[in-house]
């Protein structure tokens, strides 16, 4: 990946009194349970290789004990690896001196914790400004910046409150504002929304996505919730027993699980709420140029179709049916021959277009914002992807 901001290469972590002595067993391929039983050491991470692009939300997920929280703590060296390298913009963080590491943590990365991690004796404003205070920013400047970030997360007017006076959702917003206030390029979010009620959690996800549209931070987000991962992640990494079992886009993970472990994760996901039209649309099977009825009928005949799309270049003009064309009084296609058919956008969620798909006898045209025909959406393609996973590739 040419635009990788973070690279992890051959990362291993063993917890115990003498981790190095256990590495030969790890490299032999011994299981986590065997290593624990034989040596008393715990294998936390095993042969992790990954790259994270600048400006993406990279979600790391897995069950409890999978190693996801252990992994995120390696990025800012809260935990040091037993073997391997972590490079940020080409700099190996393992080679940083203590002073360089402190500076790296203050300016390069910010962390948002699951349980908010706020200082109860400080006001909300001072909590948000805390990272700037550590950086040495003067009080007036950091108060001004902290106030701006409180407004950005919807907490204008709460600066003089204390954490105990806020709801859980409000406290998490303070934690997010504090992380953003340092202007760090990289955000580490360790199950940041997991302690919130479902409605507040959804609101926080919306807010994070809205902020990301403006800020383009590089965000490493830890979760055990696949729905959250699918909603937030540009790419997703799934861990099991400290190993990376699959990495890919949400669509890759959902439609092409690498093994039974990943398949078990995705089997209960509501695909209609997770997938967009462009992930299931197919190329338009019959595109009709010009205004000749006979030419249009010939195109339908050759394609073996009852419906086709009239286009001018790539621009969508309308949907034609064999039936309406056969009843045309002349050889010129006018607006009266066009079917009343809804168009759908490529980025629309499948859930939102199901009614139109069911009510339309032919395929729906998928049309971009600039009016170009991108493809078609049929009932058959919806049934295929929303059914029992017949699109999954054989692992």
Nearest C-alpha neighbor of 392 from the set 258, 216, 208: 258
Pick from 45, 68, 53: nearest CA to 6? 53
- Encoded tokens for 349: 């969620």
pLDDT cut 70: percent of the chain above it: 97
pLDDT digits (tens, 9 = 90+) for 96-105: 999 999 999 9
- Residue 392's pLDDT band, with cuts at 50, 70 and 90, is very low
pTM: 0.81
In contact, 333 and 292? CB cutoff 8 Å = yes
Take residue 212 and report the two structure tokens written for it.
């990301």
pLDDT band at residue 390 under the 50/70/90 scheme: very low
Mean per-residue pLDDT, 363-384: 95
- Identify the band that residue 36 occupies on the pLDDT scale cut at 50, 70 and 90: very high
pLDDT bucket at 346, cuts 50 / 70 / 90: very high
Tell whether the model's pLDDT for residue 388 goes beyond 70: no
Average pLDDT, the chain: 91
Query: Is pLDDT above 60 for 218?
Result: yes
287-318 pLDDT, tens digit per residue, is: 999 999 999 999 999 999 999 999 999 999 99
Helix (H) or strand (E) holding 59: strand 57-61
119: Cβ contacts below 8 Å, ≥ 6 apart: 126, 127, 130, 163
The listed range with the strongest mean pLDDT (11-20, 223-232, 271-280) is 11-20
Token pair, residue 8, equals 């992890």
Task: State the average pLDDT over residues 5-29.
Answer: 96
Query: Mean pLDDT throughout 62-82?
Result: 93
Question: What are the structure tokens assigned to 175, written together?
Answer: 């934690």
- Taking every pair of C-alpha atoms in the chain, what is the biggest distance, in angstroms? 89
How far is 297 from 304, CA to CA, in rounded Å? 10
Q: Which two tokens stand for residue 109?
A: 């990365």
Q: What pLDDT was estimated at residue 193?
A: 83
The model's confidence at residue 16, banded by pLDDT at 50, 70 and 90, is very high
Q: 115-172: per-residue pLDDT in tens?
A: 567 888 999 999 999 888 888 889 999 899 999 889 888 888 899 999 899 888 888 8
| Measured distance CA(288)–CA(296) in Å, rounded | 6
Between the CA of residue 128 and those of 63, 71, 175, 189, 215, what are the distances in Å?
A: 31, 26, 7, 16, 18
pLDDT for 393 beyond 60: no
């Amino acid at each position: 990946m040419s635009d990788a901001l973070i690279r992890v290469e051959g990362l291993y972590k063993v917890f115990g009194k003498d981790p190095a002595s256990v590495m030969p067993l790890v490299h032999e391929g011994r299981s986590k349970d065997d290593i624990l039983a034989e040596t008393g050491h715990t294998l936390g991470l095993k042969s992790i290789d990954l790259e994270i692009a600048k400006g993406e939300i990279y979600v790391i997920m897995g069950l409890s004990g999978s190693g996801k929280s252990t992994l995120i703590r390696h990025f800012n060296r809260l935990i040091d690896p037993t073997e391997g390298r972590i490079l940020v913009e080409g700099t190996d963080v393992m080679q940083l001196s203590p002073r360089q590491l402190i500076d790296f943590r203050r300016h390069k990365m910010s962390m948002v914790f699951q349980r908010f991690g706020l200082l109860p004796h400080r006001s909300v404003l001072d909590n948000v400004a805390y990272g700037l205070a550590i950086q040495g920013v003067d009080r007036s400047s950091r108060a001004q910046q902290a106030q701006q970030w409180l407004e950005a997360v919807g907490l204008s007017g709460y600066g003089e409150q204390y954490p105990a006076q806020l709801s859980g959702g409000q406290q998490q917003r303070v934690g997010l504002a504090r992380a953003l206030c340092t202007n760090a390029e990289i955000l580490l979010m360790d199950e940041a929304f997991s302690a919130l009620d479902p409605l507040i959690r959804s609101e926080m996800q919306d807010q994070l996505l809205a902020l990301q549209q403006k800020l383009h931070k590089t965000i490493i987000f830890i979760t055990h919730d696949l729905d959250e991962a699918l909603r937030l992640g540009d790419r997703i990494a799934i861990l099991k027993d400290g190993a990376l079992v699959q990495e890919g886009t949400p669509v890759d993970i959902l439609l092409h699980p690498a093994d039974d472990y990943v398949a078990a994760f995705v089997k209960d996901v509501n695909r209609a709420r997770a997938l967009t039209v462009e992930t299931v649309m197919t190329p338009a099977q019959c595109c009709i140029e010009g205004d000749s009825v006979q030419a249009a009928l010939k195109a339908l005949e050759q394609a073996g179709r009852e419906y086709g799309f009239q286009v001018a270049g790539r621009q969508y003009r309308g949907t034609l049916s064999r039936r309406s064309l056969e009843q045309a009084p002349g050889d010129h296609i006018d607006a009266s021959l066009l079917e009343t058919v809804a168009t759908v956008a490529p980025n629309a969620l499948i859930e939102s277009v199901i009614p139109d798909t069911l009510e339309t006898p032919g395929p729906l045209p998928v049309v971009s914002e600039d009016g170009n025909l991108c493809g078609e959406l049929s009932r058959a393609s919806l049934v295929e992807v929303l059914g029992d996973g017949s699109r999954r590739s054989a692992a």
